[in-house]
Amino acid sequence: MVFTENTGPDHNGEYRHPEARSWLAMAAAIEPQVAHSFMVCARCGCFMQAARSLNVRATLLRKQLAQLEEQLQRTLFNFHGSTLSLSREGLQLQAQLIALAHERQLPLVEQPLIRLAVAESILHDILGRDLIALLRRNASVRLEIISLDSELVLQTVSADVVVWLSGAGGPLPGPTFAIDEPQHLARLDYLPHIAKRYSRVAARPENTDDLTDFMLVQWQHDQQIDSFEPWNTLVEQRLAGVVQLQSYELMLEMIRCSACIGLLPSYISRFDRSLSALPGLFSEPMQRNAWLAVNIDSRQKPEVQALFEMIRNTFQERREWFEPPT
């Protein structure tokens, strides 16, 4: 039997094959951040998903790992269509990095928990798409979203960023925790709405008496809103043909699909082209105001500032949505 290298024990008293010792030495020489990126790619099996998890561009991640392959003079990945898998050398590197984990803690960048409290209708209609886009760009974010579906929740919740609705007089009632100066985002006008496919011009209601033959649907949260008194009074007087429910999204679905009429912000036809406003049914305006604020204790955090700016920019980009209805 021929021994080409000394196969004595390592510093832990364990015997390693020479090739294994060689891979261990190469693994130990890799920069921790590069090693972390490699391990995430190995776990995800997809550069795009790994890039989202690491919050970096996929092109930058590919370049970083190509440099690693050049450094090691090894091919670490095999590509099969849009997926990737580890090559034989990649599997060996992964095993050695796992073995090193107890000796050298690979970096895990902890993300701070950001709490966003937002009025449910605003979350669904205005901010939902941009929040989804944020998560698509950064899969490592730690974000808790709290739906403000009542004034009681607003009065009891604590958050880093808060978006709420108030009456015409100002930002009160608002959060009870200490906040920076509230920023006015928009004034929202509210009108009864119906699905366009159930709204023939000839049969469209022109006054509240014409609503007798229509089913009315009410989000129960709106019962608390003083400025909605004309609509709430009409609903309360109904002896038949009325549905009250706690889900904002289900209310929208009933208006879309069940020929129901419900009270919605006038911007909703911009969000959902299948809905049509019914102006002129009430002489009194029904309005609310949207406000944005940051918790004083959190305002210096870059992640909180980024979320704050995203929300403000979203409202700015949609400013035409909030123009008074004609």
Counting the structural domains of the chain, the total is 2
How far is Cα 47 from Cα 53, in angstroms, rounded to an integer? 10
243 in the same domain as 141: yes
pLDDT of residue 194: 94
Instruction: Give the list of residues 6+ apart from residue 64 with CB closer than 8 angstroms, or none.
Output: 34, 37
Looking up tokens 């776990």, which residue turns up? Answer: 43
Calculate mean pLDDT across residues 280-295.
Answer: 94
Asked, for residue 92, whether it belongs to a domain, the answer is yes
Instruction: Say which CATH number the domain at 140 has.
Output: 3.40.190.290
134 plus 75 within the same structural domain: no
Q: Which residues contact 126 (CB under 8 A, 6 or more apart)?
A: 267, 271, 314, 315, 318, 321
Q: Can you give the pTM of this predicted structure?
A: 0.70
Instruction: Check whether 17 has a pLDDT greater than 70.
Output: no
> Is pLDDT of 189 > 90?
yes
Q: Can you tell me the distance from the alpha carbon of 264 to that of 269, in angstroms, rounded to the nearest whole number?
A: 9
Whole-number Å distance between alpha carbons of 242 and 39? 57
Same domain, 249 and 302: yes
- Are 171 and 96 found together in one domain? no
Task: Quote the CA–CA distance of 92 and 97 in Å, as a whole number.
Answer: 9
What are residue 148's DSSP bridge partners?
A: 119
Looking at residue 47, its pLDDT comes to 81
- Reduced to 3 states, what is the DSSP secondary structure of residue 18? helix
CA distances from 62 to 47, 65, 69, 156 (A): 7, 5, 11, 46
Residue 109 domain-assigned (yes or no): no
CATH classification of the domain holding 52 = 1.10.10.10
pLDDT above 70: residue 201: no
Number of CB atoms found within 10 A of residue 143's CB? 16
Same-domain pairing of 284 and 313: yes
β-bridge pairing 287-294 and 161-166:
antiparallel
Tell whether 31 is covered by a domain: yes
Q: What is the pLDDT of residue 246?
A: 93
Lowest mean pLDDT across 24-33, 68-77, 218-227: 24-33
**What is the SS3 assignment for 319?**
helix
**Angstrom distance (rounded) from CA 309 to CA 154:** 21
**How do residues 297-311 score in pLDDT, each as one tens digit?**
998 998 899 999 999
CA proximity to 183, closest of 164, 157, 159, 209: 164
- Summarised one tens digit per residue, pLDDT across range 203-260 is 778 888 888 889 999 999 999 899 999 999 999 999 999 999 999 999 999 999 988 9
Asked if 146 and 83 sit in the same domain, the reply is no
User: Is 264 found in the same domain as 119?
Assistant: yes
Contact 188, 288 (CB under 8 A): yes
Provide the pLDDT for residue 59: 87
324 DSSP 8-state letter: P
Task: Assess whether 146 and 250 both reside in one domain.
Answer: yes
Q: Is residue 105 part of a domain?
A: no
* Same domain assignment for residues 184 and 315: yes
Average of pLDDT values for 92-106? 71
Q: List the single range of 10-19, 49-58, 163-172, 266-275 with lowest mean pLDDT.
A: 10-19
Which of 48, 40, 38 lies closest to 93 in space, CA to CA? 38
Query: What is the C-alpha separation between 264 and 192, in angstroms, rounded?
Result: 6
Cα torsion at 152, 156, 162, 163 (round to 10°)? 0
Q: Rounded to whole angstroms, how far apart are CA atoms 261 and 246?
A: 16
In a shared domain, residues 170 and 316: yes
Whole domain around residue 134: which residue ranges? 114-322
pLDDT band at 162 (very low <50, low <70, confident <90, very high): very high
